[in-house]
Amino acid sequence: MGSLTYEPWRVRANEVSIALVFFATAGVIVSFALGSPWGYETAALAGVGALAAAWRALRVRLVVTQQGVVVENYWATHHVQWSEVEGVGIALIGTFPRPALAFKRRDKRPVFAMATPLRRTERHEFQLAVLAFAPPSVQALPDTAGVIGSDRALSNQLRRWWVRRRHS
């Protein structure tokens, strides 16, 4: 059956922009507070930190095989065998909540994949595609993300209109 690899450009772009804004803001504030000459060094250090954080954001992905999953998030990589997994569902993670595929492990903390589609229909289809690689003992858990990523959102309506327009 092969493998399923999901490397979402939207999640990567969001994480890169957050990293750049965070480090740039902190660097500017500290460099103004310190003034010359330390301000220049602080700004350079913030620039290096921003590039390192942006590089980390570009690694977000999920690889699914019949043996298990590899979840590469912003800070950590998790290797999970299907024999450890009890169920796969959708939950909310982060300070600014976003849906994430959740691998509920037996006797351990769950692993959440940042590489998850935002829209409800897409993430449900994605969950089913991931479960197609799992053994029958792995359960489909509910989507607890609620209204976040609603298919009726204006942004989704505009996206679908744009896609239809380009393909007609």
115, two tokens = 């590489």
Question: What is the pLDDT tens value at each position of the chain, 168 positions in all?
Answer: 689 999 888 777 877 888 888 877 877 787 777 776 777 787 788 888 888 888 888 888 999 999 999 999 988 999 999 999 999 999 988 877 888 999 999 988 999 999 998 888 888 999 999 999 999 999 999 988 877 766 666 666 676 677 788 777
Phi and psi of 124, rounded to 5°?
Answer: -65, -45
89, two tokens = 């569902």
Report the alpha-carbon distance of residue 3 to residue 129 in Å, rounded.
Answer: 10
Report the alpha-carbon distance of residue 145 to residue 161 in Å, rounded.
Answer: 25
Report the alpha-carbon distance of residue 150 to residue 137 in Å, rounded.
Answer: 30
**Residue 90: exposure state from Cβ atoms within 10 A (0-12, 13-18, ≥19):** buried
Is 115 in contact with 60 (CB distance < 8 Å)? yes
In Å, how far are 12, 68, 129 from 1, measured between CA atoms?
27, 13, 12
Phi and psi of 65, rounded to 5°?
Answer: -130, 180
Alpha helices of the chain — where are they, by DSSP H? 9-34, 38-57, 120-131, 154-166
pTM as predicted: 0.75
